[in-house]
């Protein structure tokens, strides 16, 4: 059982200061939406308003068209999983899973808990405890499942395993899910839809591909991935729209002319032959499955990923090309006015004019 959840113009304040303001968002039945944003952006406040743990100042929350805005938490049929597990320490895994109702034994298998049912929470790992918390929330067959940073307290290896189990269990149960996370990668890989909050307001919603590849604001573009902003002039050459970049003139897929701002992300750059743009390696970070290289060309510093099998050192001379299809074209409404204040982690990234294209 799952519900269509509608949030209409929701506002919630503390001490006269709005933690969320005028939020409108729809969650389709049986889908997972990830809610992401910087610390203090209002993620947990919105989640608690949906759960009925906080009272909104204005707006509505509807489940399948039914207004639940004034209903208490216990009347909403919502499942809630916290970062801190919140298990009963004196009960076994089986008792925690079925607290207050008949145990749904079929939940134990997809959650990987079948062999642990007789153990107490103190006798299992953090990842296993989080799976128990998820199973207990799903056991009630909630119309809406709210997950508040469910992987944040786990080490990376545990988080990987719990993530897969979590996604499988959600798919089996076909529950409507809102998952709060501060991890941008998790926001993109775990949600069918992504909602980005900024200072209590919705900055952008869309599919993972939409928010990453076609951001509506410069803030959204920087939030989901690093890159160098680049101001240029798009001109028409025959049937192509061309713009100069540090790697030569490239053809844009968008039919736009005049001032344009691009975001040159690491994945748009690659090693090339000597006919491509020369560069000098400044820093190398070996990360196992990839090698992240910071390099300089024409007085600019950019980053790119290289295959992990090749070794690089500071001062190495390389050649770099750009894939125009992977350049992000930033919205024209923010090209010359959007502030970089609050952008993480590239708050100091310069906006480079096309006049600095290296010869």
Q: Where are the domains of the chain?
A: 5-213, 225-356
- Assign 128 a pLDDT band (cuts: 50, 70, 90): confident
CA count, 13 A, side-chain hemisphere, 160: 2
| Ranges 6-10, 37-41, 152-156, 337-341, most confident | 6-10
Assess whether pLDDT exceeds 70 at residue 341.
no
Answer whether residue 109 shows pLDDT above 90: no
What's the pLDDT tens digit per position in 204-234?
Answer: 999 999 999 999 999 999 999 889 999 999 9
Q: Read off the tokens for 84.
A: 């801190």
Residue 3 CA neighbour count, 13 Å, CB half: 23
Rounded distance between C-alpha atoms, residue 156 and residue 359, angstroms: 44
The pLDDT value given to residue 193: 97
Note the CATH number of domain 5-213: 3.40.50.300
> How confident is the model at residue 84, as a pLDDT?
56
Model confidence pLDDT, tens digit, residues 171-180: 888 889 999 9
How does the average pLDDT of the chain come out, rounded?
84
CATH architecture of 225-356: Beta Barrel (2.40)
């Amino acid at each position: 059982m799952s519900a269509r959840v509608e949030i209409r113009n929701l506002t919630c304040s503390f001490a006269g200061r709005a933690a969320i303001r005028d939020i409108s968002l729809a969650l389709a039945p049986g889908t997972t939406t990830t809610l992401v944003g910087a610390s203090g952006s209002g993620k947990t406040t919105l989640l608690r308003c949906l759960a009925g743990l906080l009272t909104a100042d204005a707006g509505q929350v509807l489940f399948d068209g039914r207004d639940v805005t004034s209903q208490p938490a216990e009347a909403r049929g919502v499942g809630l999983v916290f970062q801190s597990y919140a298990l009963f320490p004196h009960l076994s895994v089986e008792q925690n899973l079925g607290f207050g109702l008949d145990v749904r034994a079929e939940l134990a298998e997809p959650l990987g808990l079948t062999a642990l049912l007789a153990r107490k929470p103190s006798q299992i790992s953090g990842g296993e405890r989080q799976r128990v918390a998820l199973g207990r929330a799903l056991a009630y067959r909630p119309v809406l499942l709210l997950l508040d940073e469910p992987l944040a307290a786990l080490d990376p290896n545990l988080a990987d395993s719990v993530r897969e189990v979590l996604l499988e269990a959600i798919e089996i149960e076909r529950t409507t899910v809102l998952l709060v996370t501060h991890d941008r990668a998790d926001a993109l890989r775990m949600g069918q839809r992504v909602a980005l909050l900024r200072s209590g307001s919705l900055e952008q919603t869309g599919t993972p591909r939409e928010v990453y590849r076609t951001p509506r604001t410069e803030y959204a573009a920087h939030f989901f991935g690093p890159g160098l902003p680049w101001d240029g002039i798009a001109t028409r050459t025959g049937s192509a729209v061309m713009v100069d970049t540090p790697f030569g003139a490239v053809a844009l897929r968008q039919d736009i002319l005049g001032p344009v701002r691009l975001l040159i992300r690491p994945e748009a750059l690659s090693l090339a032959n000597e006919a491509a743009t020369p560069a000098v390696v400044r820093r190398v970070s070996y990360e196992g499955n990839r090698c992240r290289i910071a390099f300089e060309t024409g007085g600019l510093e950019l980053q790119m990923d290289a295959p992990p099998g090749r070794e690089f050192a500071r001062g190495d001379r390389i050649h770099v090309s750009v894939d125009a299809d992977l350049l992000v074209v930033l919205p024209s409404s923010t090209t010359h006015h959007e502030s970089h204040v609050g952008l993480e982690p590239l708050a100091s990234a310069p906006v480079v004019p096309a006049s600095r294209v290296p010869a």
